[in-house]
Chains A and B, each alone.
Chain A
Amino acid sequence: MDPGLVARFAAIVGARNCLAEPPALVTYECDGLTSMRARPGVVVLPASTGEVAAVVRLAREAGVAIVPRGAGTGLSGGALPVAGCVVVGLARMRRILEADLANGWARVEAGVANLDVSKHLAAAGAYYAPDPSSQRVCTIGGNVAENSGGAHCLKYGFTVNHVLGARVVLADGSVVDLGGPVADPAGFDLLAAFVGSEGTLGIVTEVVLRVLRKPEATRTLFATFPSCAEAGETVSAIIASGIVPAAIEMMDTLAIAAARAATGLDWPEVGAALLVDVDGTVGEAGHTAARAGEIARGSGALEVRWPRDEAERQLMWKGRKSAFAAVGRISPSYLVQDGVIPRSEIARALGEVARLAREAGLRVANVFHAGDGNLHPLVLYDARVPGEERKAEELAGEILRMCVRLGGSITGEHGVGADKVVYMGEMFSEDDLATMDLVRSAFDPERLFNPGKVLPAPRLCGERPWPSRVRPVEAADPAGPA
């Protein structure tokens, strides 16, 4: 990027928070999706809404694309830079500004880590419900952009159900508050459109979160099964019984092995396992947990375990939450897929996944939110074997098409980002996408924010549009278009 322009960015955020040297830029080439890379022209780390607004105004004046970034944990390439763009990182905006627990809300800066909110509120017996597996790291701003879910959204809903308001910097550099702590503000529900817009409509700098009182009791059970069929049947039976569990997580043999390797848990080698949380008042949780345990046994569980204490419960959940990254311990490389199927179709869908994997000659580990049918197949491969990566990508794509065929979705929580733009056309018609694009242009007519994400570029419809899988070598273009 032109040094003069860099200097102007530096003047806004301070030299130390304006990174333009090649080594620093290399570390921002991708987020949690490493197969796509592009080098930004500059990375700025503003400390206030005012600084964000000034950065946006300058970028707009210079005609440089803007890519917002939280902690860079996203798995769909939502924070993938556009070559030569300005990356606006919110990692320094991490204050918890106020908490009004009596009224059930807290106002935080966008860079606050998800779990830090709950930690901050823990002493008062409150918490923030959405709990993506990356919650120690991922930021609230990133959660808003992606409409993040997590294991416990089965009962409590997603980010969109827990965000009451947002302070947003728009493409013209203006700052606007959408929603707020008081219910039912007048006007269109622009906040609903903003949540999950993946950084294409503006940059969120402050968020008003709904804060819940901790349930009186949480009961957890861990059940093992000979195969995914019985586990899937158990999920359906629990839901059908009228229980609304806080979470039902499912792991298959490979995922159990990975979690065991990462945490040292004494989980057995079985075909599948469910980790179920029920919560509520002591009476409610006790009753529903017992009933869920009976259902699991009745549906063919090999064993139903109850954690002895909170420490063991935490360890079980740690095993589940580590399982993703822990798959790195059992395979040199893997792709994480995120698709949704109707939750009654789990057994059938997993059977299909297994068949597709066999045909491709690859292994697939499954660890996912079974209660809402949100599959996370992990396609294992070895990048050093020529052609395997492509095969893995094709298999992951086939799994998504299967999800759509079964009436599901191409993404349940990871977002479309850059990774799944090509699949949007399989789920939505041209008219659907054009309508979404109208919403986008209402916020950002010049498409400065995160171009190439969520919606296929209109002129490329039908082709494999931007950005194709950019290889590191191709991306090493520090000059960029600016």
Chain B
Amino acid sequence: MSAVARREGRGGDAVLGLVPRAVFEPSTVEEAAEAIRACDAEELCVTVVGGGTDLGIGGRPSAVGAVVRTGRLDRVVEHAPADQIAVVEAGVPLVALQERLAPHGQRLALDPPFPGRATVGGLVAANGFGPLRTRYGTTRDLLIGATLVRADGVVARGGGKVVKNVAGFDLPRLMVGSLGSLGLIATVTFRLHPLPEAAETVLLSGLDPEGLWRTVRGLREAQLEPSAVVALGAGPFDLAVTFEGFGPAVEAQRDRLAAAARKEGAACEVLDAAGAAGIRERHDAIRAADGLRLKVAALPSHFPGAVADASRVLGSAFRGPGFAGYPSVGVGFFTVPGPRAGDAGGGGPSAAAAEGARAVARTRELFERLGGSLVVQAAPEAVRAAVDPWGEPPAALALMKSLKERLDPRGRLAPGRHAGGI
């Protein structure tokens, strides 16, 4: 058995400013287990790092004794095109996986920003997603199996390699959004989808919140089946609706939407490939900004109004907050490019930070009042210090703690990062 690669932590390994004592870079599941066992023995708290794109989600770990980088877990273990499944090691970047699948006319229906950096394991741990969530859901809906390394170094597998399987508890889905606090995700198995034959995007612009909701609801009522519905900007909104599938059917949907929009008097444009790529770039740029990144959620009917209000609140404290969201799902992101997101207001950095924290808190109120939520995914230090990244503790906090105690009794895995201080 080969020994896992290990070195001293450096500045570049820092997690939210915390430099680890040790960095492990396992290249097999066994080595990953060895790394976790070593941390357990040396009483080092562990943060697992994939592409590092979402390390800011939630609280700062109370200690980062070690970082386990998954980058060398980089094999696509199996791709069975006829079965439309792939078994992938955690450190495989999304784009590398998609390049393996595309020649077979398949894809993983997941399109978050940073596909070049984001790893499949990280996407599961951080519950990453992009516009395709509209139709295909999140990693939760695509994940059919996983291997994880428990805090005590034991390797456990859940799920399987077939799309339909109800044997045993759903350990894989339990890992979705767990942020490395329940175990290290070593391999994941996904169900795949066919690459669409054709895609068409319609851009509606200048929508007010009512117009946005009317349009989104109208898509449902008209029985159109877009694969992506993306709102950009928050006052007014631009709305990009993408249809995918077989050629004529996709064109028919495109034309129906365009006709309905024109009848309503909305500004509407059918985009060519370059136009659609431009929208995609705009979306990714907003999503990727990490001076400040807030994830907000509400019921779709409440969502446009809340986003418009929040946009005004945040605009008073931050310079030009961007918005990218998925109004048919009721989830979106407010972002401000970094690193000096807190420098907007007058009166020096501390006053600005206080103002920023107040704006985030007021935005959270807007969403929580509607039964929604706001989670801080990235923020200037001062804002992070003043605002709980998670907001109201979850109703099932006691149960979460009970689960954490069983799977990580010594609290080694990303302590303090998850909701409720777990």
Contacts and interface: CB of A to CB of B under 8 A. Distances in A.
Given A100-B299, A412-B166, 6 more contacts: A184-B177, A196-B170, A287-B249, A343-B163, A432-B157, A441-B406
A190 B403 contact: yes
11 contacts: A182-B297, A182-B330, A184-B127, A184-B177, A193-B169, A215-B223, A242-B197, A424-B167, A427-B168, A435-B150, A441-B406
Interface in B366-422: 371-373, 375, 390-392, 394-400, 402-403, 405-407, 418-420
Contacts of B249: 280-281, 283-284, 286-287
B171 A188 contact: no
Given A182-B298, A188-B418, A288-B246, A104 B220 contact: yes
B419 A431 contact: no
A160 B170 contact: yes
Interface in B169-203: 169-171, 173-174, 176-178, 182, 193-197
A436 B169 contact: yes
A160 B176 CA distance: 13
A186 interface: yes
B102 interface: no
B168 A424 contact: yes
Interface of B: 80-85, 105, 127, 137, 140-141, 148, 150, 154-158, 160-171, 173-174, 176-178, 182, 193-197, 217, 220-221, 223-225, 245-246, 248-249, 252-253, 295, 297-301, 329-331, 371-373, 375, 390-392, 394-400, 402-403, 405-407, 418-420
Given A177-B396, A443-B399, A188 B178 contact: yes
Contacts of B295: 184
B251 to A, nearest CB: 8
A184 B373 contact: yes
B54 to A, nearest CB: 14
B173 A193 contact: yes
B416 to A, nearest CB: 14
A438 to B, nearest CB: 4
Interface string A199-213: 000000000000001
A409 B169 contact: no
Nearest to B193: A244
B160 A176 contact: no
Interface of A: 100, 102-104, 146-147, 149, 153, 157-158, 160-161, 170, 174, 176-178, 180-190, 192-193, 195-197, 213-216, 236, 239-240, 242-244, 280-284, 286-288, 340-344, 369, 372-374, 407-416, 420, 424, 427-429, 431-436, 438-443, 454-455
A60 to B, nearest CB: 16
Contacts of A192: 140, 170, 173-174, 176
Between B162, B171, B246, B301, the greatest number of chain A beta carbons within 10 A of the residue's beta carbon is seen for B162
Contacts of B217: 102
Contacts of B398: 174, 176
Contacts of A195: 170
**8 closest cross-chain pairs (CB), A and B:** A192-B173, A344-B82, A187-B394, A283-B249, A242-B194, A435-B156, A216-B223, A284-B249
A106 B329 CA distance: 15
Contacts of B176: 189, 192
A103 B299 contact: yes
A385 to B, nearest CB: 32
B84 A436 contact: no
Given A193-B170, A432-B157, A187 B420 contact: yes
A372 B163 contact: yes
A184 B394 contact: no
Contacts of A442: 399, 402-403, 405-407
A79 to B, nearest CB: 15
B245 A284 contact: yes
Given A177-B395, A216-B223, A287-B246, A416 B167 contact: yes
Given A187-B394, A283-B249, A287-B248, A240 B82 contact: yes
A415 B406 CA distance: 25
Between B249, B297, B405, the greatest number of chain A beta carbons within 10 A of the residue's beta carbon is seen for B249
A189 B126 CA distance: 12
A218 to B, nearest CB: 11
A186 B419 contact: yes
A372 B160 CA distance: 13
A428 B157 contact: yes
Contacts of A216: 223
Contact of A213 (B154, B163, B196, B221): B221
A176 B420 CA distance: 16
Nearest to B159: A409
B330 to A, nearest CB: 5
A372 B141 contact: no
Given A161-B137, A190-B403, A344-B83, A244 B194 contact: yes
A271 to B, nearest CB: 22
Contacts of B178: 188-189
B314 to A, nearest CB: 19
Contacts of B81: 240
Nearest to B161: A407
Nearest to B158: A432
A413 to B, nearest CB: 6
A184 B395 CA distance: 14
A409 B160 contact: yes
Between B81, B220, B253, B399, the greatest number of chain A beta carbons within 10 A of the residue's beta carbon is seen for B399
Between B137, B182, B220, B398, the greatest number of chain A beta carbons within 10 A of the residue's beta carbon is seen for B220
A454 B392 CA distance: 34
Contact of A183 (B85, B162, B168, B329): B329
Contact of A281 (B105, B197, B223, B419): B223
A209 to B, nearest CB: 15
B72 to A, nearest CB: 23
Nearest to B401: A442
Between A146, A160, A186, the greatest number of chain B beta carbons within 10 A of the residue's beta carbon is seen for A186
B140 A183 contact: no
Contact of B82 (A190, A236, A287, A340): A236
A189 B299 contact: no
A183 B331 contact: yes
Nearest to A186: B419
Contacts of B195: 242
Nearest to A202: B399
Contacts of A280: 225, 245, 249
